[in-house]
Structure 1
Amino acid sequence: MLIRRRFFAACVLLTSSLLGSLAYADNATLRVVTDATFPPMEFVKDGQRTGFDIDLVEALGRAMGRKIEWIDIDFKGLIPALQSGRADMAVSAIYITDERRKVVDFSDAYYAGGLVVLTKKDGAIKTLKDMDGKKVAVQVGTKSVNFLKDNFPKVERVEVEKNQEMFNLAQIGRADAAVTGKPAAKLYAQTHPDMIVLPEQITVEDYGMAIPQNQPETTKAINAALVKVKAEGTYDQLVKKWFESQAK
């Protein structure tokens, strides 16, 4: 019985390895799962997926000479899709964490997320220390609330239920600033010229592309393609498009 179990385990390991090898080929279609509900990273507009992550992955595909097949799935199902062999990569504003590294591999970090400060360009807050004694809007239930409570105790928190309400308070001056995730803050500042995101971040949490552990060739190819799109200027163009350029 012990021999049979060991033989079965060896067969499972070999099969997993073979599937990983077969999933990777220089010109094979790259199956990518995403939850396109998080602008500006990935969302649906006019019936089409769009966003920073979407454009970046398409650019990586061109750099590798591989077609991208997009698969829509809820966020909680992204990593299970990789583990089951349904997909070759997951891209959906996924933070690289030690816990996730236990079950999937990650590409090199491709964007620094985390908490940032959104405030008026001509306002009193120019640095993180300037928040002391000021009214700062945060959304209930998010990391921002406890982080400010623990690390910026002199801040007067204005806790609201909705993300948009938080932005509105900072916009009309009923709050001196809002603390939220970098992508959402950047998108708001992009469409409101009188607002700015402070260059100094409160926290830095890197986004990465999750890849099955049995596909090291895919991880290597993605990292090489990321280097290429950065060197040729495509990456900077996408950052400007989604986070820096004013909407017209």
Structure 2
Amino acid sequence: MLRRIPATLAVTALAASLAGCGGGEEPAAPAAAGGVELIQSGQLTTCTQVPYEPFQFREGDRIVGFDVEIVDLVATRIGVPQQIVETPFDNIQSGLALNSGLCDLGAAAMTITEERDQNLDFSDPYFDATQALLVPPGSDIAGVEQLTGRRLGVQSGTTGQDYATDNIAGAEQVVFEDIGLLLTAVQTGTVDAAINDNAPLLDYANKNPGFTVTEEFDTGEEYGLAVRTGNTALIEQINGALADARADGTYDALFEKWFGTTPPADN
């Protein structure tokens, strides 16, 4: 079972780690298998934000999902259990959580971008994604053309927010910290539509009759697992675990478990 550290403790830990990094010193990092230096000895500490179903979400007292099981493969490879720290997505994608020593690895259905790559090191891609538009039951919004003068919900710090800013003119953008708040806003009518990655929006629409993904935008995105800049030993272990999982069928089995289908040939 994976134990969960509440967000309030994560923030406290982040503040403490920042205070301990004065003078350019890096946090202590005990070595594990494969020469990997860990923030805390005996565990692989993962920063993620929940909910982001089916990648990471709560199921009873556990956090489960596709990303969680992918990182479990890495943890097994280096011989330690995974420990999850709930962290705001902005702190993960900006590099703050990783480079300050809050966690070893970031796994948050995170697209590899040039901007993020300046502050983080990414693994080989493990998932292909696009952006999508979700509308509630009875909506007359069939695509971006109908968004002029409407309220469009986006998640802070995401490529969905970037896409909306760059490509959807005329909509009033309403920003939410996480996808749970974003989807609640669509449910309650606080916003008229939402844009985010296709997988969580399709998952939500499949589980909530009447909600519809009306349009997808081929943005050619790829997800990667992230580590602090320069942590090449951990990147090598992550890439090794991903390669082994693809070769022995584990990746395909996990994909089918969480998405209900086999992965596309080019995924």
TM-score of the superposed pair, with normalisation by structure 2: 0.60
Which residue of structure 2 lines up, in the alignment, with residue 225 of structure 1?
241
The letter of the residue matching 2:235 is T
Which residue of structure 2 lines up, in the alignment, with residue 97 of structure 1?
113
Q: Is the 8 A contact 1:32 1:91 kept in 2?
A: no
Deviation, structure 1 residue 242: 2.3
Say which of 205, 211, 215 aligns to 2:227.
211
1:28-177 matches, cutoff 5 A = 29-40=42-53, 41-62=55-76, 64-75=77-88, 76-78=90-92, 79-117=95-133, 131=143, 138-139=152-153, 147=163, 151=167, 162-164=182-184, 166=186
What secondary structure, in the 3-state scheme, does the structure 2 residue paired with 1:39 have? coil
Which residue of structure 2 lines up, in the alignment, with residue 182 of structure 1?
198
The 2-side partners of 1:83 and 1:149 are apart by 28
Deviation, structure 1 residue 152: 6.2
For structure 2, the 5+ residue unaligned runs are 1-22, 37-41, 176-181, 262-267
Which residue of structure 2 lines up, in the alignment, with residue 172 of structure 1?
none
The 2-side partners of 1:141 and 1:218 are apart by 29
For structure 1, the 5+ residue unaligned runs are 1-11, 170-174
Q: Is the 8 A contact 2:56 2:108 kept in 1?
A: yes
Say which of 30, 33, 55 aligns to 1:25.
33
Q: How many residues align?
A: 215
How big is each residue's C-alpha offset from its partner over 1:68-109, in whole Å with a ceiling of 9 and x where there is no partner? 331414224443343234432121223323233223211112
- Change in Cα spacing, 1:96 to 1:134, as seen in structure 2 (3 Å) is same
Which residue of structure 1 lines up, in the alignment, with residue 39 of structure 2?
none
Which residue of structure 1 lines up, in the alignment, with residue 8 of structure 2?
none
Q: Structure with the greater relative contact order (CA < 8 A, sep ≥ 6): 1 or 2?
A: 1
What secondary structure, in the 3-state scheme, does the structure 1 residue paired with 2:199 have? helix
The 1-side partners of 2:188 and 2:259 are apart by 19
Deviation, structure 1 residue 45: 1.9
- Identity score, percent: 25
TM-score of the superposed pair, with normalisation by structure 1: 0.63
The 1-side partners of 2:200 and 2:151 are apart by 14
Report the structure number with the largest CA radius of gyration: 1
Which stretch has the larger CA shift, 72-81 or 157-166? 157-166
- Change in Cα spacing, 1:146 to 1:31, as seen in structure 2 (3 Å) is closer
